[in-house]
Amino acid sequence: MQNKATKIIKKEDKKDRIAAILMLSPVVILLLVCSIYPFLWMFRYVCYDYNGFTATFTGARNFTRMIHDTTFWTSVGHTFEYALYKLVFIIPLALVCAVLLNQKIKGTSVFRAVYFMPTVISSSISGMIFTFIFATQNGILNGILMALGMDAPVQWLTSPDHVMSAVTVLAVWGGFGNYMLYFITGMNVISEDVYEAAKIDGANGIQTFFKITLPMLSPILKVVLMLAITGAFKDYEAIMVLTQGGPGNRSMVMFLYIYNMIFGSGLTNMTQPQIGYGALLSVVAAIIVGIVTIAYQRIARKLDNVM
Amino acid sequence: MEKSRAVMSGKQKAVMAVIWLLMLILAILTIFPVVYIVLGSFKSNVELLVGGSNIFPTEWHFENYVQAWTGAKFATYTWNSIVISVCVMLISLFISTMAGYVFSRSRFPGKNLIYGVFIAFMFINVGSVSIRPLYELATALHLNESLLPIILISVGTGQATYIFLSRGFVDSVPRELDEAAKIDGCTFFQTFIRIILPVLKPVMGTIALLSFRQGWNEYIMPLVFTMARDNLRPLTVGVNMLKATGGGAAAWNVMFAGASIAVVPMLIIYIIFNKNFMSGSTAGAVKG
């Protein structure tokens, strides 16, 4: 009798397990096809010359080419430069906005919604909108600056001296609301009592910020910085639309250069893709991002010990 | 609130006013590009090509939209964008809640390993190189004549976050609910449909918004897939192609109208659901 009951339960369990596996299969198949297969595929062509139709084994030639490819290494440098500019502006701005919006001021929810708004727009479309804004002859930015009394239009997108500022403006515009929101979420954890106590002790706003908000935010700050750094290294969609890496590769970042290798540069008159070489560069780029991530975590931990 | 305002001194009030003004300026700067593009889409092409500092059009040219809609194929692009984002949303909703349920409730060997691989691939990012083998695969399977590969790849690259969100939510649902259902004779799958899904509504709302946005905003992957197929392009690709092929004296008015068509629907959805958008974005990132 009991034996029969356990048998039924076992049968039920087996059925449930099959159901579970069936229910999990769509996401597992998509993971295999969309993530794991491309990841392995990338290594297959590292030592090949492959243009999309024919592949020839070239041994270490891709590797030696990479060593001497100054355009690639400058693009790596530009990636670091871009990440630095983006972080220097976006993190303080996001933090200040979060602190101010945490005050009891009228309209905070409207401000918050407005600051977050750019993040729902595709970076390809924001890139395009900013090409119109930054256009030298008929762009609205130069139009306003000229109306305010500037003599000559600034070549925002066509001069190597200004292009990085244009790229940074777009990056900050498109992302600060997101990081602001992370900070606000983090701040909600800090209890009201701590602020009350500080108030009673006679701390002013700036003291409260440096002595209470910032130290208590430091775990969140660490996570947000991590996300911001890795995010900045992977950005290329908006830059691709805004400047195509130009002028003269001045705004060429690592992942944009890799895109041009794998799919050919230019939207209309394409160059021949060099997929094998691009695959090698992708591996190197992933390693660079990995090293930066690990280095950042080491530094963050060291700072923790000091404080 | 009332009380704290009463104690505010005159100096504090002045500081607050300055802060408020600064935030207003930042808000105007943030919203400016969008206002500029939408108002600019009603300007004549001549007015746009001359430039200047005027934000409002001198004459309202609604025919820019007609020109974009019929002449520049924006009707097709809009349709493709809608199909892609709605399908990405529905498929993501269905498969990621199921997976979250299985990861939370089922026990089978290798479960944690599979979950670990999902999480690992959230962090491994090799950039555009991963699109190449998928493009070649889709071509070999003759799927590249439809929107299907674009939809499936978009789902595949976004699903990890949604699975993560659903699993966290199912974990917080008391197990007694499932056990009661089991005693009532529900199978594993029936328990999911009848008991878990109705409870999952809040997280499903978040997943729906995030995945819809993801599908709508996808750019590089559909760009690659529709390089030679104009009629499969979504708005993001269509409007940028117009800019690339137009050259210097391009039809700025049509491009402005096109960019507005690509941005405004998303903004309307955002205005309606902005609180859900914000909570969803932080949930995905902070936990991930």
With H, G, I as helix, E, B as strand and everything else as coil, classify residue A55: strand
Cβ of A262 within 8 Å of Cβ of B128? The answer is: yes
* Matching CATH number, A62-306, of 3.40.47.10, 1.10.3720.10, 2.50.20.10, 3.30.750.24: 1.10.3720.10
pLDDT by residue for chain A (307 residues), tens only, comes to 556 666 666 666 788 888 999 999 999 999 999 999 999 999 999 998 888 888 889 888 999 999 999 999 999 999 999 999 999 999 999 999 998 888 777 888 899 999 999 999 999 999 999 999 999 888 899 999 999 988 888 999 999 999 999 999 999 999 999 999 989 888 877 777 777 788 788 777 778 778 877 888 888 888 889 989 989 999 999 999 999 988 989 999 999 999 999 998 776 667 888 999 999 999 999 999 999 999 999 998 887 776 5
Residue A157 in tokens: 């997108």
Taking the mean position of all CA atoms in its chain, how far away is CA B166?
18
**Identity of residue A64:** T
Query: Nearest chain B Cα to A114, which residue?
Result: B27
Query: Which residue ranges make up each domain of chain A?
Result: 2-44, 62-306
Cβ of A27 within 8 Å of Cβ of B163? The answer is: yes
**What dihedral angle (degrees, nearest 10) is formed by the CA atoms of B214, B218, B220, B225?**
120
B218 Cβ under 8 Å from any chain A Cβ: yes
Long-range contacts from B35-38, C-beta under 8 angstroms, 24+ separation: B36/A129, B36/A132, B36/A133, B36/A140, B37/A129, B37/A132, B37/B256, B37/B259, B37/B260, B37/B263, B38/B260, B38/B263, B38/B264
Cβ of B27 within 8 Å of Cβ of A26? The answer is: no
pLDDT by residue for chain B (288 residues), tens only, comes to 444 444 567 887 888 888 899 999 999 999 999 999 999 999 988 888 888 888 888 889 898 898 888 888 899 999 999 999 999 999 999 999 999 999 999 888 888 999 999 988 887 778 889 999 999 999 999 998 899 999 999 999 999 999 999 999 999 989 888 888 888 888 889 999 999 999 999 899 999 999 999 999 999 999 999 988 889 999 999 999 888 776 545 788 889 999 999 999 999 999 999 888 887 777 666 544
CA distance B86 to chain A (A): 16
How far apart, in whole angstroms, are the C-alpha atoms of residue B224 and residue A278? 15
| Window 63-92 of B, Cβ < 8 Å to A | none
With H, G, I as helix, E, B as strand and everything else as coil, classify residue A168: helix
How far apart, in whole angstroms, are the C-alpha atoms of residue A238 and residue A179? 18
CA distance A239 to chain B (A): 12
- Range list of H helices, chain B: 2-7, 10-40, 45-50, 63-66, 74-105, 111-123, 131-140, 148-171, 175-183, 188-191, 197-199, 201-217, 220-225, 235-246, 252-287
Query: Nearest chain A Cα to B222, which residue?
Result: A124
Cβ atoms within 10 Å of A290's Cβ, excluding its own = 13
Q: Which of A21, A24, A130 to mutate to test the interface with B (most CBs of B within 10 A)?
A: A24
How far apart, in whole angstroms, are the C-alpha atoms of residue B70 and residue B77? 11
DSSP A250: T
- Tell me the longest C-alpha to C-alpha distance in chain B: 75
Cβ of A30 within 8 Å of Cβ of B95? The answer is: yes
How many CB pairs lie under 8 A apart between chains A and B? 273
How far apart, in whole angstroms, are the C-alpha atoms of residue A52 and residue A65? 19
Q: Which of B274, B189, B38 is nearest to A132 (CA)?
A: B38
Rounded to two decimals, the pTM is 0.90
